[in-house]
Copies of this chain bind each other. A is one copy, B any other.
Amino acid sequence: MNMPRTPHPARSRNPAPATADGAPVSTGGVSAAQAADSYGFSEHTRGLLECAATLCARQGGRMTPQRRDVLGLILQADAPVGAYDLLERLRVSDRRPAPPTVYRALDFLLEHGLIHRIERLSAFVPCTHLSHEGEGDTHAHDFPASQPMQGGASACGHEHGACGVHAAQFLICRACGGVTEIADTPRILDMLRTVCREKAFTMQSASVEVEGLCATCAGRQGKADGVQGAGTEQ
């Protein structure tokens, strides 16, 4: 499982990747989508944020500064992030958001298929689909605005759209905390669709979460049982 995303659920690491300059720019008058940020987002992240704003707009949603900041922090993190970690990381430059602020942003991002919630961790990760669109063609899903797709899933089993099914599969390592999204195949989702059809159940969202040991940690445990360490899954 090659995952760029590293160790333990980033619950409380990285004090806050804030810029030296403390200007509260993200609340400025500029369009939310391209507003400057106080969080030192990488160029790559900013690119994905642009892409996300476009996707939102097509669905009739607004990528406001709050939502942008939250999504940016999730994209930037190297592990699943909890709501209260986001809250802490948002505490920069005179802003002190309260829980509802973050939860509202998270709800929006979930509804628009930009992030996933990992139930077993009560934490959030970006939808890989966004990254895939970020690299290369920015408009892979060229469905018309306000006409979200129904049913026809992309190869990775995701759909960006408030009305579509948003599903994801994760492998969660208990030793290192690494999380891998299985997005390279529609096999699992297809099977779920079949089962639901058999049961006349209308699927709206689905999650598959497998907990266990990634290749690396399983190896370690084999050698020295009980030894668990930090490290990237796989």
Contact = CB atoms under 8 A, between A and B. Distances in A.
A207 B120 CA distance: 9
A205 B208 CA distance: 11
Interface stretch (A52-60, A69-77, A193-201, A224-232): A193-201
Contacts of A192: 188, 208, 210
B1 A199 contact: yes
A212 B218 contact: no
A215 B200 contact: yes
A1 to B, nearest CB: 5
Given A119-B120, A199-B234, A201-B1, A208 B211 contact: no
Interface of A: 1, 119-120, 169, 171, 173-174, 180, 182, 185, 187-188, 191-192, 195-196, 199-215, 218, 234
28 contacts: A1-B201, A171-B201, A173-B201, A182-B195, A182-B199, A185-B195, A187-B191, A187-B195, A188-B191, A188-B195, A191-B191, A199-B215, A200-B214, A200-B234, A201-B210, A201-B214, A201-B215, A202-B212, A202-B218, A203-B210, A203-B211, A203-B212, A204-B211, A204-B213, A205-B210, A205-B212, A206-B210, A208-B208
